[in-house]
């Protein structure tokens, strides 16, 4: 009986309201010291670029983060913890903002700044995604690669959005997958997609300032703000960084 009470107390504490949520990116929040990847959705990575409705390059990953910040505002947030994410550095969560009936997971898809992410969504946000696409809001007003394909560097994948043009396909893909991606402010960790990283179950390698490999990595495929961000994206630390770098 005492064990059952303890378990219930832990579960209740894990779902209590907490002020001061920190938004990591368009689909990740830190609540009460725990970082949650919003379950069943896929939002742009912080360093991801898109095309806007005027055919201009658009830092949609930064915009998705900023929109999530605005959505939460100064309100408290609580999250149902569904366990550790695949790369162990974050938890999977269903989060709710105080005063909202819909979850944050659903709201960001409804606003057009995240996708229904199968098989994890199990169709929960399919209607919200369709509504955002039909209304041409958020990412859907422009042209973009799905976050999943962006993370894996699939430059020949399907493009999404109302502003995709077949006659400008090459130019658009050059913007969505730039050879020299711009470093977001404060995000100086370099990520490089690498086949050799698959041996350890990863998609690439990240390099920290001060490590021997950092200066020579002149054309990174990704930029990350923290090691946690890099690891959550499936990148492992460069072996020559093990003894150095912070």
Q: Is position 25 within any domain?
A: yes
- Report whether pLDDT(2) > 90: no
Q: 50 burial class (0-12, 13-18, 19+ CB within 10 angstroms)?
A: buried
Tell me the three state secondary structure of residue 27: coil
Reported as type and span, the H/E element at residue 195 is none
- Domain coverage including residue 127: 11-176
Q: Is position 160 within any domain?
A: yes
Whole-prediction pTM: 0.83
Q: Across residues 37-62, what is the average pLDDT?
A: 95
Q: Is position 103 within any domain?
A: yes
- Report whether pLDDT(3) > 50: no
Residue 139 has which token pair? 């990412």
* Residues 130, 54 share a domain: yes
Tell me the three state secondary structure of residue 204: strand
Are 204 and 169 in contact, with CB atoms under 8 Å apart?
A: no
Residue 97 has which token pair? 């903002």
- Quick one: pLDDT at residue 179? 87
- Report whether pLDDT(1) > 50: no
Fill in the DSSP letter of residue 183.
P
* Residues 201, 149 share a domain: no
């Amino acid at each position: 009986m005492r064990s059952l009470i303890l378990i219930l107390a832990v579960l209740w504490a894990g779902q209590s309201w907490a002020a001061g949520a920190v938004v990591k990116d368009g689909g990740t929040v830190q609540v009460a010291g725990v970082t949650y990847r919003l379950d069943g959705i896929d939002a742009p990575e912080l360093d991801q670029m898109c095309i806007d409705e005027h055919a201009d390059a658009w830092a949609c990953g930064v915009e998705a983060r900023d929109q999530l910040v605005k959505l939460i505002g100064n309100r408290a947030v609580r999250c149902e913890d569904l366990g550790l994410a695949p790369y162990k550095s974050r938890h999977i969560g269903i989060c709710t903002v105080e005063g909202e009936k819909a979850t944050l997971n659903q709201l960001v898809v409804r606003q057009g700044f995240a996708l229904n992410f199968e098989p994890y969504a199990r169709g929960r946000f399919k209607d919200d995604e369709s509504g955002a696409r039909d209304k041409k809001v958020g990412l859907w007003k422009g042209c973009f690669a799905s976050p999943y394909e962006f993370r894996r560097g699939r430059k020949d994948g399907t493009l999404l959005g109302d502003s995709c043009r077949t006659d400008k396909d090459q130019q658009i893909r050059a913007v969505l997958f730039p050879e020299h991606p711009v470093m977001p402010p404060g995000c100086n960790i370099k990520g490089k997609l690498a086949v050799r990283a698959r041996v350890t179950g990863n998609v690439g390698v990240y390099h920290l300032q001060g490590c021997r490999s950092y200066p020579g990595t002149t054309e990174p495929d990704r930029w990350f703000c923290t090691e946690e961000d890099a690891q959550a994206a499936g990148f492992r630390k460069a072996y020559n960084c093990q003894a150095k770098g912070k």
